[in-house]
Amino acid sequence: MDKRIERTRHEVLSAAIALLGERGYAAFNMEAIADKAGVSKSTLYRHWPTKVSLIADALNTLNVQPRPGPADGTVRERVTILLRHLTEALTASPFASCIPGLIEATKHHPEVADFLYDYSARRRERLVALLRDGVAAGELPADFDAETAATALSGAIFYRCLMTPDPYQAKDVPALVALVLGSQGGT
């Protein structure tokens, strides 16, 4: 029974992401999701009272950020793992096709801005924490600006996805990491 509930939940979340990617936020509605996932609208509202609560749950459940630790290598290597995941999320996954619509919706729907800004901040936090570990371990210089670096690294990947026909691929990440982390501080 629990498994069936979990499967249904997954179907609802996948349907929500797919519809959001196709239609954008304004045209995305609970009725269409209920139809697509084969559940009743009242079930949907019982679990997700608002469109944005459903989107938040879908992105958190379906786009799981890796949590690289010391066993995964140097801080540079762990940063590379995190950023490779971001390039994959922004190319292959249904998540990628939602981003433009969510960005547009931040302008007209304050609840979407609150969600997207908070979501991005939490994703960036893991990168900032890794960079600070690099400073603590002596892999990065003591005055390394982890916040600015996390913005430049994430920003480069989002920029290539949103503003060019040529999104960063996983293979492009090492050059970006080398540029932003520099060769100072040793490995």
Binding site for its own copies (CB under 8 A): 24, 97, 100-101, 103-104, 106-107, 113, 116-117, 120-121, 145, 148-149, 151-160, 162-165, 175-176, 178-180, 182, 184
Cα–Cα distance measured from residue 172 to residue 187, given in angstroms and rounded to the nearest whole number: 20
Q: Are 124 and 154 in contact (CB under 8 A)?
A: yes
3-state secondary structure of 43: helix
CB of 164 to its own copies, least distance (A): 6
CB of 44 to its own copies, least distance (A): 25
CB of 116 to its own copies, least distance (A): 7
User: Is the CB of 8 or the CB of 24 nearer to its own copies?
Assistant: 24
User: Is the CB of 33 or the CB of 181 nearer to its own copies?
Assistant: 181
User: Is the CB of 77 or the CB of 145 nearer to its own copies?
Assistant: 145
SS3 content of the chain, % helix, strand, coil (to 5): 75, 0, 25
Q: Are 9 and 18 in contact (CB under 8 A)?
A: no
User: Is the CB of 6 or the CB of 118 nearer to its own copies?
Assistant: 118
CB of 143 to its own copies, least distance (A): 10
| Nearby residues of 109 by Cβ (< 8 Å), 6 or more positions away | 25, 52
Q: How many helices (H) and strands (E) does the chain have?
A: 9, 0
User: Is the CB of 24 or the CB of 73 nearer to its own copies?
Assistant: 24
Q: Are 161 and 96 in contact (CB under 8 A)?
A: yes
CB of 158 to its own copies, least distance (A): 5
- The separation between CA 51 and the C-alpha centre of its own chain, rounded to angstroms, equals 18
User: Is the CB of 14 or the CB of 97 nearer to its own copies?
Assistant: 97
Q: How far is CA 10 from CA 6, 15, 16, 94, in A?
A: 6, 8, 10, 14
CB of 98 to its own copies, least distance (A): 10
